[in-house]
Amino acid sequence: MFIVLQSLIHKRKMKLFSRACCALYLFAAFSLCACGEKDMSMKMNNPRNIRGVISYKRSFGDLNDVQLKTAKKIGIRPINSRKDADDMIGRLVEIKPCDRYDMDSLTHSIPYLIPTASELLDTIGQNFLDSLENKGLNPNKVIVTSVTRTKDDVKRLRRTNGNASMNSCHFYGTTFDVSWKRFTKVEDPDGRPMQDVSADTLKLVLAEVLRDLRKSDKCYVKYELKQGCFHITAR
Ligand SMILES: [Zn+2]
């Protein structure tokens, strides 16, 4: 009889104890939230005001001769090799993947631009990130696919592509290509999952950014359908 009574009391104590634990746990969870504990739910897009352009071809139709004229005017003289670029400190700046843009590993060009073009690339990357935020989209970076070509690059290019031209703006340090097909998703530093933004949507936002810079005479832009990029010359 005594043992049964003791066990009943024990059970009751345990029940009370577990209730207290539960309450304590809830309280702790609540106060963590209230204190600004990071929300780890998936960050969804909330798209608004995405307009793009009516025609890529018509909006970005600055042909080679127009771009080349400016490239020759404000750019460097074509160089033979990467070593020549290293010797041109001041005239050329080296560009690297950063917070504002990403870069492919370059196979037929070198990561050097004249300062004006490097600043333009910074502006494009930053404006793109700002636009995405304003339009309720998760952050993505543009990807640079081609930069400055040397004469050595073109010799090598010609083996695979007979059209590789000595008449290219890419010789002058003024011109770079930015993909409209691929973008680099920016991950949350605390590991919060982020909903993807489709490449089609990102392309529309990038088009708006480039249209505005082109309108304010910062650059020439040609839409390259086959290469999947915008071909951009600073001005
Ligand atoms: Zn190009």
Q: State the distance from the centre of ligand 1 to the C-alpha of 99, rounded, in angstroms.
A: 23
Per residue in 196-225, is it b (16+ CB within 10 Å) or e — as a string?
ebebebbbbbbbbbbbebbeeebbbbbbbe
Q: State the distance from the centre of ligand 1 to the C-alpha of 157, rounded, in angstroms.
A: 13
* Whether residue 75 is found in the same domain as residue 150: yes
Q: State the distance from the centre of ligand 1 to the C-alpha of 229, rounded, in angstroms.
A: 8
pLDDT bin (cut points 50, 70, 90) of residue 21 is very low
Q: State the distance from the centre of ligand 1 to the C-alpha of 90, rounded, in angstroms.
A: 23
Q: State the distance from the centre of ligand 1 to the C-alpha of 139, rounded, in angstroms.
A: 25
Number of domains, the chain: 2
* Whether residue 80 is found in the same domain as residue 176: yes
Residue 131: how many CB atoms within 10 A of its CB?
17
Q: What is the pLDDT of residues 116-144, one digit of tens each?
A: 999 999 999 999 999 999 999 999 999 99
State which residues form the domain around 200. Answer: 56-234
Q: State the distance from the centre of ligand 1 to the C-alpha of 21, rounded, in angstroms.
A: 65
* Whether residue 21 is found in the same domain as residue 132: no
Distance CA 215, CA 208 (A): 11
Distance CA 87, CA 65 (A): 29
Amino acid at 147: V
> What angle, 0 to 180 degrees and rounded to 10, lies between the N-to-C axes of helices 115-134 and 199-215?
130
* Whether residue 10 is found in the same domain as residue 113: no
Q: State the distance from the centre of ligand 1 to the C-alpha of 130, rounded, in angstroms.
A: 25
pTM over 0.75: yes
Q: What is the pLDDT of residues 182-215, one digit of tens each?
A: 999 999 999 999 999 999 999 999 999 999 999 9
Is residue 50 a part of any domain in this protein?
Answer: no
* Whether residue 68 is found in the same domain as residue 171: yes
Please check whether residue 139 is in contact with residue 178, taking contact to mean a CB–CB distance below 8 angstroms: no
